[in-house]
Chains A and B, each alone.
Chain A
Amino acid sequence: MQLTFHVQGGDFTRAGDASSQVKKTLKQLNIDPSVTKRVVVALYEAEVNIVAHAHRGVITADIDPVRILLRLEDEGPGIPDIELAMQRGFSTASAEVREMGFGAGMGLPNILENADRFHIDSVVGKGTTLTIAVNLQPCP
């Protein structure tokens, strides 16, 4: 099953809509709550990244009985140094974004922590694509 969401850069009032919908879906499928929580946290961080940094983006969530595959493709500035961006506390967020309680530099590290697979593709000046996979069966 596939869900698709469109995200507008700078629209903080709607940041979290996609993760809320995905959460609702996983709950209705009776996915283990600890797994659902990891998916929601990873997706929320990635969704906020699009809102805070990019112009716009498309999120797709592909759910099969084994795993959920999230793909977040944005049009935006891209990430010049992915290794640096992955460091805890590193952030390029503007002062305004930080004032709203975002941009603490925990987004990408948090996604990595909650994902079973995580991949970043980025082209400076064009955009970034994140691929996040989470296994739906909890680890024994």
Chain B
Amino acid sequence: MEQQAFHHALKIRHDVCTGCSHCMKVCPTEALRVHGGKALLYPVWCIDCGECHRVCPTRAIVVEDDDFKDIFRYRRRILLIPSIFIGQFGATVSRREIMDILLHLGFTDVREAEHSVDFLIDEINRYLQTHEKPVISSFCPAVTRLIQIRFPALVDHVLRLKQPLEVTTEYFRQWYARQGVDPADVGIFYLTPCAAKIASIKAPVGDYASPIDGVINMNYMYNRVLQERGKELPATTHETQVSARGMTWSLTGGEVRHIDGKGLAIDGIENVVEFLERIENDEISGVDYLELRACDESCSGGILTPYNRFLAAECIRLNAQAQASANDAIDEYRQYLSGAIDVGQIRPRSMVKYDLDITKALQKMEKARELKRALPGVDCGACGAPSCEALAEDIVRGQAAVEHCIFIQTRSEKQGLLPQEQAIKIMEKIWGKEKIDECAIRDEEMKTYQTERHIIK
């Protein structure tokens, strides 16, 4: 049960954050709090799902990607694009035009990230024959991290094969070497639709280093394509090499329909959590493969995708109809990468809620239960914690005080146990002095809103 720092692609900009607490309410691992008027992250509990980024009204939660200029450190600059990217433009920009622009912007080659899917399907089906069911797909890095943290008993069910992006990268590294390109000249960059993929590249789960050199934010590249659109650009040659199966792999149901046996596809982090609870309880049997994705509509709902997720998915499905059913390179994949895509051990990253020592943990838990009974149970979040239960846990861990609860505060004031100035100070400590001062309404205005009906004297 390790407690170490992990690389996170999501960062909170405290100069922009207003401490509105929207993020705190949606975090599936309760990793966020509000303190000093700012959102605070417990990094060990974060799974990089990006739900906080999605709801942040001030864009204070940012994704740490690589600088685009980094690509020019390499002579051969290869961009791996997921099929989701083409789906972002609907019918407004053609695939041909998108490719021309990407090459014009500085890449020397553009390749499809799902190029390796046909090979991977065979490898997964072989893996299924020898591993305990259900096997849980490791395609979505946020789900893998969710399992490590919230469902440690299930880590052995997670598929221990590299994912299309990594297998494709390794294939092309070898391919360029075979073409006589100096490996030191080759830089492979991934255009990402989400933060979780960045975390998985910077800090892979398992015992291997990522073969990818850098990550480019899809939102950024979307804007660049639109800015360059319509300019006279030299025409380039680019053949689409991804199969129909590869193109639809990242959509909901994209994996399960090619898997031998009974598979289930579930998208949306809350749906995934609910299902994993049942799997953990051994309540579900007869399922061989689980495709679990953190985002609604899978990668087309990624936090860095600008287009409507349903329309993007539809666009990709239509595009896929024109593609071959399998990739020509599958034999080369078999020759060079068969049996070489294992990720090694995946370890649990359990949340230490109370203490590593069970005697102390039991004492603290007992106290937290007692506290929770004293708290109002409305989960209002005014204390700066996402729920009454979370506040109780924070208190026994020494990270919060019982007076942080607005109900307890009101009661203490009523009983004369807490001076008003003290109560104000507590609220200012949680929400920031500014936020309390901002709530000022002029006295005369205040009167118009205060009616006899609403004020109990």
Point out residues on A near B: beta carbons under 8 Å.
Answer: 1, 16, 19-20, 23, 25, 27-31, 33-34, 36-37, 40-41, 44, 63-65, 136
CB <8 Å contact, A33 and B152: yes
B153, B280, B350, B366: the one within 8 Å of A1 (CB): B366
User: What are 22 pairs between A and B in contact, CB < 8 Å?
Assistant: A1-B362, A1-B365, A1-B366, A16-B281, A23-B280, A27-B152, A28-B351, A28-B353, A28-B354, A29-B358, A29-B361, A29-B365, A30-B1, A30-B353, A30-B356, A30-B358, A30-B361, A40-B280, A40-B282, A44-B281, A44-B283, A65-B358
Binding site secondary structure of chain A: helix
CB <8 Å contact, B365 and A28: yes
CB <8 Å contact, B362 and A65: yes
- A5 to chain B: closest CB distance in Å? 14
Contact flag A44-B282 (CB < 8 Å), given A1-B366, A28-B353, A136-B358: yes
- A88 to chain B: closest CB distance in Å? 16
In the complex, what residues of B have CB within 8 A of residue A41's CB?
281-282
In the complex, what residues of B have CB within 8 A of residue A25's CB?
365
Q: Is B359 an interface residue (CB 8 A)?
A: yes
Residue of A nearest to B152 (CB): A33
- B341 to chain A: closest CB distance in Å? 26
A65 to B353, CA, bound (A): 16
CB <8 Å contact, A19 and B281: yes
- A93 to chain B: closest CB distance in Å? 17
- A50 to chain B: closest CB distance in Å? 16
Most chain A CB neighbours (cut-off 10 Å) among B281, B351, B352, B362: B281
Point out residues on B near A: beta carbons under 8 Å.
Answer: 1, 152-153, 277, 280-283, 348, 350-354, 356, 358-359, 361-362, 365-366, 369
CB <8 Å contact, A16 and B365: no
In the complex, what residues of A have CB within 8 A of residue B353's CB?
28-30
Most chain B CB neighbours (cut-off 10 Å) among A27, A63, A64: A27
In the complex, what residues of A have CB within 8 A of residue B282's CB?
37, 40-41, 44
Known pairs A16-B283, A30-B356; list 4 more (Cβ under 8 Å).
A29-B362, A37-B153, A40-B281, A136-B358
- B382 to chain A: closest CB distance in Å? 24
B153, B356, B358, B365: the one within 8 Å of A33 (CB): B153
Residue of A nearest to B354 (CB): A28
In the complex, what residues of A have CB within 8 A of residue B280's CB?
23, 37, 40
A63 to B354, CA, bound (A): 15
CB <8 Å contact, B354 and A29: yes
In the complex, what residues of B have CB within 8 A of residue A1's CB?
362, 365-366, 369
Residue of A nearest to B358 (CB): A65
In the complex, what residues of A have CB within 8 A of residue B277's CB?
20
A41 to B358, CA, bound (A): 22
In the complex, what residues of A have CB within 8 A of residue B152's CB?
27, 33
Report the 7 A-B pairs with minimum CB-CB distance, sorted nearest first. A33-B153, A28-B353, A65-B358, A65-B359, A29-B361, A33-B152, A1-B366
A31 to B1, CA, bound (A): 10
CB <8 Å contact, A34 and B1: no
A25 to B1, CA, bound (A): 17
In the complex, what residues of B have CB within 8 A of residue A31's CB?
358
Residue of A nearest to B368 (CB): A28
Residue of A nearest to B366 (CB): A1
